Every structure is written in structure tokens, then in C-alpha cells.
Structure 1
Amino acid sequence: MSAAPAIPQDDQALFLGIDTGGTYTDAVLWSPAPDPSGTVLAKAKALTTRHDLAVGIAGAADAVLARAGVSPSAVRLVSMSTTLATNALVEGQGGRVALVMVGFAEADLDRAGLRSALGSDPVLFVPGGHDVHGNAAPLILDELEAALAGLAPSVSAFAVCAYFAVRNPAHEIAVADLIRERTGLPVTASHELSAKLGGPRRALTTLLNARLIAMIDRLVAATEGFLAARGIAAPLMVVRGDGALVSAGFARLRPIETILSGPAASIVGARHMSGLDNAVVSDIGGTTTDVAVLDGGRPRLDPEGATVGGYRTMVEAVAMRTFGLGGDSEVGLEDGGLRPRLVLGPRRLVPLALAAHAHGAAVIDVLERQLRATNPGRLDGRLALRTGVPDRLAAGLSGAEEKLHATISTTPQPLDRLLTSNAQIATLNRLVARGLVHICGFTPSDAAHVLGGQDNWDANAARMGAALFARRRDGRGAPLEADAEAISARVLRALTRRSAEAILETAFAEDGLEGPETVAHALVQRAVDGSNGIARLSVSLDRPVIGLGASAPLHYAGLDVLVGNDCIVPEDTDVANALGAVVGQVRVSVEAQVSQPREGLFRVSSLQGIRDFGDEDAALAEAERAARDVLATRAAEAGAESFEITVECDVRSATVEGQRNFIEAALTATATGRPRIGR
């Protein structure tokens, strides 16, 4: 970072940006003066402490305030981005949720990936719902009322989705009120998240939202606790997946909207730091690599909804492709083959270097014992420990899961002594998927420690973990590599290569091709490898890559050759997310619809309810009034100090025998403005 600029006076606004990632929590202190693009006064990092997020947040924020030499009371706005929700969906984690489907049938679970996302979580089908014009079917709640007492102790939240709730939310509201009254647990209703048709995908979005509530609530509570303890009387904002800012209270109710929050903030930060209007932005973290396209100074948005962890949601967000590839990705081997290929991710492990840094001899002694063994073991270099989440999030475990969970502590234990049967491996994996247990193992971060590219943790543990992995056997029975250095270099090469493939896959997909299939094609692979025969092949991007993330200078050093264009790594790339969190704007939208149930009757459906009119213009005027009223309240809830409202109206009609016939209209009102700052 360049020399520190002059410290601003106490009456000048200072903004604190925080990004809570899977491995690190970053903080940046930013001033909107004296430069027109603002000034980074200081930046800092601390390890993300999942068992108590406040520890990592305090570590990073206290360090950045100390480096800038300012009083906490000088901070006028705090804004944060997070990859926690994204990581949870990629890794299949989250709380156990009960899904209540009103007016749907069992067969609807087979659409939009809903059954897969539901997994073993309970689902209840309740008679009711509405038709496309908002007319109600009978709502029968007897079975739901009878089931609530038994369900409540085994779940952390409820998700409610009713048939055509976007045209009439009455049944969702009634069911949600009943559940809150009887259980006291958080409830997400689908109409609060999306106004789009498509019940199963709306149910999927609602399910995932409910699953994430406890996680985001802990993050917001931890941050609020830190601010109160330091005397920072400033509004707290959160970055949504489309790059907009919303208040912490707003985000608490809609955590699904924070998926891709970190990546969206990183794009805002990348544009701010590089000044480039057109680029491919690739952000590598500990758990994921997020790739997006910057066009004309704005990130491309995905109008169909964000896809994360294999699920297509209804959340409008940056058109981002998220790959389970990062510095802390699990290093594994492809099954079969004489010389098996290295496989990276998608699961995140706690790097052995980090585990030893935190737990010392508990990790070192295990690695030394395993290295002394004559023959390699299949569980060498693997340990398990609890994540430290509250015990209530362990609700609903099976007998085998509960027994194994009880034997795992907050100190790493070697899997070769913890597990007594092969069946327990599957049990352990389920505990990991629930977010209750971490696995420690060899990762690219360890490889970087071995080769001197990283030195913040325990390099000795990394070297031992690399040596254990290197002596694993290939298909011929020979060791994978000669030593720790050789396997580490191979891992880092694989990570750079896989990063290039992720970037090219995104580019192909943005061009309308099948990204994964295209990048896997033999011709593209030959072009990337540079292994030309008689036919000389090449592939290149039409714009540079902006590499983000603390490890980008290491992992993207050879990327330009693989993608055929420059790779620019900005000076403050390690805190791009935190910086992007403080330079954005508040933006929220609401929708209203006008339909025609029968000729001459125009029905307005909005969050204020249903109203009928005999005139099209009167109905459209009412739809706009209702949308503006709801939007004004929602913009204030989202933390906007002042805002401008724009309204778009899409009227569908048909002309038959020269006569115009109204079909339906969709009206979208959007409020945009700067966030409220402390005085």
C-alpha cells in the first residue's frame, strides 16, 4: 500500500468497510476526501472465527483503526460484505428448516431442484393457495397446527410458500403468523423475497433463505456488538448480491439476498481501484473463486436469478459464476488412472498450517507420528474438530451422527483414531455438511507455505502435510511425487490452471455457449496448454482480467499466458470486498401487477393487497401509488437517507380484429440513494 495520507479531521466522515470471508475478515478505513475517488487510510486482516464472529471482526476493525490513528467515534458509516451465505450454499451447509407448501402437491418437489435442496429436512403440504388472479382456495390448517409442537424442537426456522402468493399473499401471511405464534421461530414467506411466478423455484429460494437466517443473524449481532463496545454510533449496512447496500435489519430478514454479497462488493471495489470499465473480475478467496464480467463500468446482472451451489434462486444478483476453488480447497485425487489428476475443492478444509498455528502440538504430534509410519495411511494428514456453532444448531441429528459429534471436540483429532469404521466417514461428512465439524487437511495454502509464497501460519505443519500427501500411491503403486516441494509445486500449478478454466468457462457462458462443456473440449484444452500440432490453436479474452484476493499475486502470476490477455492485480486487491462495501448505494425495488380476471375488471395485486377497478388507467395508477408507498417504507428500512424513485411499467396487450385487448401489466418501482450516515 502507498504511504499513508494525511489523517482527516474529526469532523470529516470516515467509513469502515468489513468483509467476513470463509477464512479471513478484512477491514478498510476509507475517506471520501481529498481525492475525488476517496482515499484508503488503512487496511487490516484477521482470521474469521466461525465459533464467535465478533472475535475476527474486532481483530480486523481494531487493527485498521489503530493503523489510521483515529478514534472509533470518528466513524460515520459501517458497511460489510460477506461470503458466509455463498460458502454455506456451496458447501451444502445451513440450519435444518421445515418447509410448508400451501396449495402444492408432492410432485412439485421434483421441479427446480427443490427435492435435492430439501434433503432430509421436513416438508408439510397444506390445502389452500390462490389462482393466477388472486382468488383463494379453502385454507385448512388442522394438520399444520397438529405438527408444529413436534417440529419446533428439531428445526431452526420455517419456510412458507403458497400457490400464487405473488398475486395474493393472504395465505402465506396467515400460515406465517400461526407458526410464529406457536413456535417463536423465524419464518420466511416467499412473497417477501420475490414477485416472480414459478412456485417451486420461489419455494427453493425461501427454503435457502430460512436456512441462512441463523448464520446471518450471528454475523449482524457480532458486528453490532463490536460497534457498541467501541462506541461507534454509526449505521450498519450490508452489501446485497447485486452490489447495492441495505441496512443490517433489512438483511437479517432476507439473508438469501446476501448470497454473492462478497463477490458483488469485490466488483464494485475492482472498478473503483482499476478504473477499468470492461474487464473480467476473478476473486479468489479461501473457499471459492468468483468470476464476473464488468461491462461499461457496471457488473452484469443475472435477470434469471443467482445460481449458487447448483441451485437457481430468484435472487437478482451479479451474473457471477462461483467455483469451489480457493486457497483452502481440499486437495484430492481423481479416481483411477496410472497417474491420477489432482482435484481441488469444492469443499473447504482448515489448512494444516492454520490448524497447527492455532492448536500447536495437537496437530504437529499427529503429523510426526504418521510420517514415522512405514506405509502411508488413507486418512493421513486429516483431523477433525468442532466448528463451535451453538448447540441448538445441532438439532435433528441421527443416533450415529449424535454419537460421533459427541466424541469430536474443539481440539483437532486425527481421523485415523477418531473413526472406527468406513461407515463413519459418511457420518462425518454429514456433520461437515451441517456446519458442525471442520476437517483439517492439505490445501493450496499449505503448498504456498512450503514454497515460501505464504508465511503467516505454521510452515512446518504445511511441509509435513505435503510430505504425507506426496507419498500417497498412484495407479502403479509409486509415490505421487518425490517430496513436499514437488507436490506443492504441482498443487499450485493445478490451482492456476483451474483458475484459468473458471475464467474461460465464465466467458464462454456469457457468450451464450455451454461454459463447462466448451472449456472441457479437447481443442480448448490444447489451446490453453499451448500444445499445438500441425494445427496451431489459441484462445484469448477480449478484455483484461482483474485479479482480486489476498492470494491473487501468487496464484494469478502465470494466468495471463493461459487466458491470452493481461492480468491486473491492484495494489489493495486483498481488501477489494471491504472497499467495495463502502462505496456503493442503497437500491431496493418493489413490484405490483395488474391482471384482467374478466372483461372490464382490472385487478391490482400489490403488497398492500388486492383492489379491483373498472378502468385500466385507474388500475395502473393505483398499482404505481401502491408500489411507491411500499417502496418509500422499504427504502427507509433499507437505510437510504434520501432517494430517487423510478418506475417502469410493462403492459402486455394483444390486438384482435383491430381491437386492443389488455392482458396484464407488471410495474416495478426502484429507489436509489446514498446510505444514511451518523452525525
Structure 2
Amino acid sequence: MALALGVDTGGTYTDAVLVRDEEEVVASAKSLTTREDLAIGVGNAISAVLEDAKVAPDKIALASLSTTLATNALVEGQGGRVALVYVGFRDGDLEKHGLKDALKGDPALILSGGHNHAGNEAASLDTAALLAFLDSHSGISGYAVAAQFATRNPSHELEVARIIAEHTGVPVTCSHQLSAKLNGPKRAVTAVLNARLIGMIDRLIGRAQDRLHELGITAPMMVVRGDGALMSAEQARERPIETILSGPAASIVGARWLTGVENALVSDIGGTTTDVALIRDGKPAIDPAGARVGGFRTMVEAVAMRTHGLGGDSQVHVEVQGLNGGLFLGPRRVLPVSLIAVEAPEVVHAALDEQLRATTVGEHDTRFARCVPGVSADGVGAREAMLLERIGDRVLPLSKLLQNRMENGALNRLVDRGIVQVSGVTPSDASHVLGRLAEWDGAAATKALELIARKRVGSGELLAKSPEQLAQMIIDQLTEQTSLTLLEAAFSEETDNFGVDPHELARHVLTQRGLVRHRGLLALDAALNVDVVGLGASAPSYYTAVGNRLRCNMILPEHAGVANAIGAVVGRLTLRRAGTVTVPSEGRFRVHLEDGPQDFGDADSALDMLETVLRHETEKSVREAGAEDIHVIVDRDIRTAQIEGKDVFVEALVTIEASGRPRVAAG
């Protein structure tokens, strides 16, 4: 009997599950995610599941972690301060593929150097300028290095990384180590996001491993990658970008394991995001263009997932313009008022009571702020530092924290960095008011919704007549936005999407009228023609209404609330390596390797040599990661051109995939 422990660290809850022999869920448990130290929530969830199952820690043979931390950080615009060293490019290249947006004002150095398409040096590397740049910047948590044609010759990236590591001791991400594909700006975006996440993911994995050992669990630890496969904890620390969509990918694996569905949409609602993906012929669909999350297209191979900032803890925004006004949710997660009231009941209730006694609703009513302990505030500006000093270690109403408009921007920057959390009204609060949830402070939620309900819309009428009516409006809006998310996913997966943006199609009047079965001179019918698997702890509360809205079969499996944690332990360790063979001149076939290009006189010799090197690297890495019974798949994508009636070799991409089940510790 082999017991595997799966843990999923979400934005609101950390889940733990025990699976026996990959066949049976023995026990599951939840604990609040503790952002100030994620390992506390991890430890609490693990302790609870071990207690529930009456299992000794030394009986655990494998531990695996899936996390929405990287995804949530990118969706919410959070992460550490980074610097980009951009070798061989021009200033204008910073505008491509959203690279400037990914930097978010963080420093970048355009450095002389780089190679050409054949892997030959295009310009010498300007190390003096690099050293001057390193000396002039502080508070950097990670460096990203992207050099022109680094996938053809990575020597300049490697040299820059060596200098940075020796000079600063700060983690460095090289773009060629994340993807073997061309497109320098897109690789640079991926490297920047990886660098931004390194500190955050390293803290999570390190503390999680420490907590496992403290609890007496000595089994090897794995982490779920964005394509649903497993990687070792050490690999995840080096390439945290590959954990974006880790939690959602684990949910797809878990959904398949729980239901056995062959073709279905999977919709996983968490505290911060709703993630939708397609299972086709029993396998998750992979995004061929690279994972897209937080508005950025990366070069990370991951499940084709549509991630929306919509969850149980999404901020409720009130639109008071127009006669009737309205609501919309997200994309930012906030602390539910009902949750922050558990942490600081006297402060929260006193402030809410004072706000309820006022004759008008204040701009910052129901909003509170708290610092996240343990998160570095290095590099913040003077105004941000002043706010941090004002908050201290308290929960503070925003009406007392913010003294002028300019401080709003400073607070937003602190939230973006993950240094401060703010509260607000959320669907979770609405569920407490309606009696669907009773885990936190329902009285605080009711007071908060009473305040928001008092806002007046364009007609002069109140937004809602009661907290209960407003709560139902919020739940209805969650149903509507979730339905639109699923429709978008369905339209985007259609082989013929009519040449129209899926976003527009989902909202088109004919689609919407068809969903309510319009009958007039025209009869319009529309429905989602595929099953939907609803996952997440709150799925039973929300998704029945979504199924009714879309007129589809909604599957809500047992253990839907811990599907991510289940998916974390039923996957396979998988690694891929890719390399390229090009033809720099007639009769020369160039293999592009980590230690530089090598030339051969014929294509077969070049391809065989590349395959041998990649196979050795891949098998060695997956074995070191903890895999056994390794299976290898080789793919040669050879591109040719017709010249005078002959097929002429142009380029080849060789990809090696090695996979196996994780070795389990002896019980």
C-alpha cells in the first residue's frame, strides 16, 4: 500500500489529500492559506488530513505540491522587483510582446553583444556597461537575461549570468533555458516573469519542505508543472515560471481521475481565479502558442487554460452610473470582510458600525488594510514607506490610512508587490449573508453589504433594498461572468469560430437570446454542447445555476473541492528538451548546443548527435528528479523546401520527452 500526499496552495485555502495506490481518496482537509508564511497553512492542512486518516507521517511515500501562487501573482500583477539585461537588441524591442508592461517600470539594460541566426557572434559583449549597471541598482530580487539568438548560441547569456551571480548573488534567469524557440522579445518576457517569481516560489517550496520534515514526512517532494506533469522541487525553484497554471493543470488531471470524462470543459473556481480548460479524448489540451496568463503570452508549455480574475474573493465593483447601476467582479482578489473580521473583530466591527451611522456612504467604507508579515519592502518609495509605518502590525480602515489622493497610488503599488493586503466586499461575503457559507464572520459581511446597498444609482434609488438582495445580485453576477467565461472557452475551441473574436461571440445578442430560447418570428436556441466539470470548494454553491444558464450537463464530483490536490499526486514526472539543426551554408549542418554550435557534413549525423545529447540530458534529469520506469518519446520536426524539384533540408527541431512515475519512499 502506497500513500501519496497531495497539497494545493490556493489564494484562499490550502488543500491536502491522501490517495492510496492511485485508486482511492483516503482523506482530505482544508486550511486557510497564510500568505505571510504559506508553510503555516500547508502544515495545518497536512496535520488535519493525517489526523483525519489516523495515518503516521512516516507512512507517506510521496508528497506533491500544486500551487496557484505563480498564476495569481501574475494575474494580480505581483512579484519581486527585477532587472532585465537585454543583449544585442534595440530600445524599440522593449515594446514588443508586452515586454515593457512585464517590466512594470523595473530597470532594463540594453547591452551590446548577441549572435546571429547561425550562432556566430554579432558583436562583442560589453561587460563594463554590465558592471556599471549592477553597481547602480539595488533591491533587485531576480535578474532576467535575454540575448539575441541565444537559442542558437547561449554563450553571452551564460557569461552575463555568471557575472551577475558573482557580483550580486541574486538569482538569474537565462531565456534560452526556458525555451529552445526563436523570438527574443517573447523569451525575454518569459525570463522577466520567471525572475519576478523566483523569490516567491523559492520561499514557498523551501518552507513547505521544512514543514514536511518538521511533521516527520521524509518522502520526496514534487511540484506540478503547468502542463499537468510533475517536476522535482529543485527544478521548480530554478524555473518557477513553469509552475504558472500549476494549480489549474493539477485540477484538469484531478478532474479526469475523479470523473473519467473523455470530452468536457473543466471550470475550477478558486478564491482569485476561475480557470477553464478542455479535456479532449481524455487528455488536457496543450496551448501551442505558450501559456497566456495575466495578459502576457509566455513560451511556457502548459495546459490551454483560460484564466480569469474571477473567484469567491474577487472584489465587487459597484457601477452607479446609469439609471439602474450595476455590479462587476474582479479581476483583483481582496480579503473578504467576513475573513478580515475574524482576524481583527473589534477593529472591523467598530469601523463598520461607525460607517453605518454616517448619513452617506464613504469612498473607503468596508475597506481595510494589513501588512503581510515577512514580505520584503526593499526598494519602496518614501510615500509607500510612510503608509507601511502608518499601518504597522494592525488592521487599519482605509479611511484612516489614506490622507490624500496620491496615497491611493502608493497603496496600489504596495498591493502589487504583495506587501499589503486590502479587504472589500466579495462573493464569499454574499454567500455568508445568504447562509450558503458559515465559516467566517457573517455579521461583518451583513454590515458590509448593508453599506454597499445604500449607494445610490443614477435614478437616485438605492442600489439594493437589503443586504440579502445585494448578496443575490452579487451571486447572479458571478453566475453571469462564469457563464461568459465558459462560452468564450467553447467558442475559442471551435474548429470554425466564424472568424469572430470568442469574447464578442459569447456576448453577442443572438447567443444571449438563444440561451433563453427566444421565440418570436425567429426561434433561437443556444446551449453548451459539452459536459462541464465544476471544481473548487464553492462549485456546489455556484455552478448549478451556471449549468442552468448554459443549459448543459454540470458534473459536480465528490472531492471537487480538493481536485487540485488529487491531481498533484496522480500525474507523471515528465521532462522535455529541444534542440535545433540549421544549415548555415550548403553542405554544413549545424547543431546548436549549450556549449556552442557544432558542424557536420550531413543531416543524419547532425540529427543523431543532437538526439543523443538531448536524450542523455533528459533521461538524466528526469531520473535525478525522482522518476523510475522511464519512457522516452522522440520527435523530429524536419522542415524542407522545394528547390528545382528536390526537397532541401532547411531546419529541424528535435524534441525528447522522458517520463516516469515518481519513485516512492519505502514505508
Counterpart of 1:61 (choices 34, 46, 53) is 46
Counterpart of 2:470 (choices 487, 492, 515) is 487
Counterparts of 1:658 and 1:44 in 2: how far apart (Å)? 66
Question: Which residue does 2:19 correspond to in 1?
Answer: 30
Deviation at 1:633, TM superposition (A): 2.4
Question: Which residue does 1:242 correspond to in 2?
Answer: 227
Counterparts of 2:625 and 2:463 in 1: how far apart (Å)? 54
Counterparts of 2:238 and 2:570 in 1: how far apart (Å)? 23
Question: Which residue does 1:332 correspond to in 2?
Answer: 317
Counterpart of 2:128 (choices 142, 150, 156) is 142
Counterparts of 1:529 and 1:415 in 2: how far apart (Å)? 42
Question: Which residue does 1:9 correspond to in 2?
Answer: none
Instruction: Give the superposed CA RMSD.
Output: 1.3
Question: Which residue does 1:3 correspond to in 2?
Answer: none
Q: How many residues align structurally?
A: 661
Question: Which residue does 2:391 correspond to in 1?
Answer: 408
Question: Which residue does 2:541 correspond to in 1?
Answer: 554
Deviation at 1:14, TM superposition (A): 0.6
Deviations 1:74-121 (A, max 9, x none): 001000100000000000000000000010111001110111111110
Q: Is the 8 A contact 1:641 1:676 kept in 2?
A: yes
Counterpart of 1:453 (choices 433, 436, 452) is 436
> What secondary structure is seen at the aligned counterpart in 2 of 1:558?
helix
Deviation at 1:538, TM superposition (A): 2.3
Deviations 1:456-505 (A, max 9, x none): 10111111111011111111222100111010011011101111111011
Instruction: Provide closer, same or farther for how the CA distance between residues 532 and 105 of structure 1 changes in structure 2, counting only shifts above 3 A.
Output: farther
Q: Is the 8 A contact 2:517 2:526 kept in 1?
A: no
Deviation at 1:206, TM superposition (A): 0.3
Counterparts of 1:95 and 1:313 in 2: how far apart (Å)? 18
> What secondary structure is seen at the aligned counterpart in 1 of 2:136?
helix
Given residue 80 of structure 1, which amino acid in structure 2 is its aligned partner? L
Which structure 1 segments of 5+ residues have no match? 1-11
What pairs with 1:630-669 in structure 2 (closer than 5 Å)?
Answer: 630-669=617-656
Question: Which residue does 1:396 correspond to in 2?
Answer: 379
Counterparts of 1:638 and 1:674 in 2: how far apart (Å)? 11
Deviations 1:33-82 (A, max 9, x none): xxxx6111110000000101111001100000000001000001000100
Counterparts of 1:525 and 1:409 in 2: how far apart (Å)? 49
Counterparts of 2:625 and 2:239 in 1: how far apart (Å)? 11
Deviation at 1:336, TM superposition (A): 2.4
Counterparts of 2:422 and 2:660 in 1: how far apart (Å)? 43
Counterpart of 2:344 (choices 319, 340, 359) is 359
Question: Which residue does 2:26 correspond to in 1?
Answer: 41
Q: Percent same amino acid at aligned positions?
A: 51
Counterpart of 1:163 (choices 140, 148, 156) is 148
What pairs with 1:96-495 in structure 2 (closer than 5 Å)?
Answer: 96-137=81-122, 138-151=124-137, 153-334=138-319, 336-391=321-376, 394-495=377-478
Question: Which residue does 1:628 correspond to in 2?
Answer: 615
> What secondary structure is seen at the aligned counterpart in 1 of 2:110?
strand
Deviations 1:132-175 (A, max 9, x none): 11101211111111121222x22111000000001111100000
Deviations 1:586-643 (A, max 9, x none): 1111011111111111110123432111122111111111111221222134332231
Instruction: Provide closer, same or farther for how the CA distance between residues 644 and 175 of structure 1 changes in structure 2, counting only shifts above 3 A.
Output: same
Counterparts of 1:560 and 1:653 in 2: how far apart (Å)? 49
Deviation at 1:396, TM superposition (A): 2.0
Counterparts of 1:183 and 1:229 in 2: how far apart (Å)? 32
Counterparts of 1:667 and 1:238 in 2: how far apart (Å)? 26
> What secondary structure is seen at the aligned counterpart in 1 of 2:544?
coil
Given residue 8 of structure 2, which amino acid in structure 1 is its aligned partner? D
Question: Which residue does 1:599 correspond to in 2?
Answer: 586
Q: Is the 8 A contact 2:320 2:456 kept in 1?
A: no
Counterpart of 2:73 (choices 80, 88, 95) is 88
Deviations 1:303-322 (A, max 9, x none): 10011011100011000000
Counterparts of 1:546 and 1:190 in 2: how far apart (Å)? 36
Given residue 429 of structure 1, which amino acid in structure 2 is its aligned partner? N
4+ residue runs over 3 A deviation: 528-534
Which structure 2 segments of 5+ residues have no match? none
Normalised to the residue count of structure 1, the TM-score between the two structures is 0.96
Deviations 1:333-361 (A, max 9, x none): 23621212201000001001110112211
What pairs with 1:662-677 in structure 2 (closer than 5 Å)?
Answer: 662-677=649-664
Counterparts of 1:229 and 1:414 in 2: how far apart (Å)? 37
Counterparts of 1:233 and 1:408 in 2: how far apart (Å)? 40
Instruction: Provide closer, same or farther for how the CA distance between residues 571 and 240 of structure 1 changes in structure 2, counting only shifts above 3 A.
Output: same
Counterparts of 1:673 and 1:504 in 2: how far apart (Å)? 36
Given residue 139 of structure 1, which amino acid in structure 2 is its aligned partner? L
Deviation at 1:530, TM superposition (A): 4.9
Given residue 531 of structure 2, which amino acid in structure 1 is its aligned partner? P
Given residue 13 of structure 1, which amino acid in structure 2 is its aligned partner? A
Counterparts of 1:432 and 1:526 in 2: how far apart (Å)? 40
Deviation at 1:523, TM superposition (A): 1.7
Counterparts of 2:520 and 2:77 in 1: how far apart (Å)? 43
Instruction: Provide closer, same or farther for how the CA distance between residues 529 and 372 of structure 1 changes in structure 2, counting only shifts above 3 A.
Output: farther
Normalised to the residue count of structure 2, the TM-score between the two structures is 0.97
> What secondary structure is seen at the aligned counterpart in 2 of 1:541?
coil
> What secondary structure is seen at the aligned counterpart in 2 of 1:453?
coil
Deviation at 1:418, TM superposition (A): 1.1
Counterparts of 1:289 and 1:253 in 2: how far apart (Å)? 27
Instruction: Provide closer, same or farther for how the CA distance between residues 280 and 180 of structure 1 changes in structure 2, counting only shifts above 3 A.
Output: same
Counterparts of 2:127 and 2:643 in 1: how far apart (Å)? 45
Question: Which residue does 2:523 correspond to in 1?
Answer: 536
- Structure 1 stretch displaced more, 557-566 or 481-490: 557-566
> What secondary structure is seen at the aligned counterpart in 1 of 2:354?
helix
Counterparts of 1:38 and 1:383 in 2: how far apart (Å)? 45
Instruction: Provide closer, same or farther for how the CA distance between residues 526 and 599 of structure 1 changes in structure 2, counting only shifts above 3 A.
Output: same
Deviation at 1:243, TM superposition (A): 0.1
Deviations 1:376-414 (A, max 9, x none): 1121111111122432xx222222222222212332211
Counterparts of 1:441 and 1:271 in 2: how far apart (Å)? 35
- Structure 1 stretch displaced more, 16-25 or 409-418: 409-418
- Structure 1 stretch displaced more, 113-122 or 508-517: 508-517
Counterparts of 1:556 and 1:632 in 2: how far apart (Å)? 43
Deviation at 1:324, TM superposition (A): 0.5
Deviations 1:408-449 (A, max 9, x none): 233221111111112211221111111111111110000000
Q: Is the 8 A contact 1:238 1:246 kept in 2?
A: yes
Given residue 524 of structure 1, which amino acid in structure 2 is its aligned partner? T
Q: Is the 8 A contact 2:516 2:525 kept in 1?
A: no
Counterparts of 1:533 and 1:75 in 2: how far apart (Å)? 63
Question: Which residue does 2:3 correspond to in 1?
Answer: 14
Q: Is the 8 A contact 2:36 2:374 kept in 1?
A: yes
Deviation at 1:362, TM superposition (A): 1.6
> What secondary structure is seen at the aligned counterpart in 2 of 1:121?
coil
Counterpart of 2:489 (choices 506, 513, 526) is 506
Counterparts of 2:285 and 2:439 in 1: how far apart (Å)? 35
Q: Is the 8 A contact 2:375 2:419 kept in 1?
A: no
Q: Is the 8 A contact 1:16 1:582 kept in 2?
A: yes
Counterparts of 2:71 and 2:518 in 1: how far apart (Å)? 36
Q: Is the 8 A contact 2:266 2:278 kept in 1?
A: yes
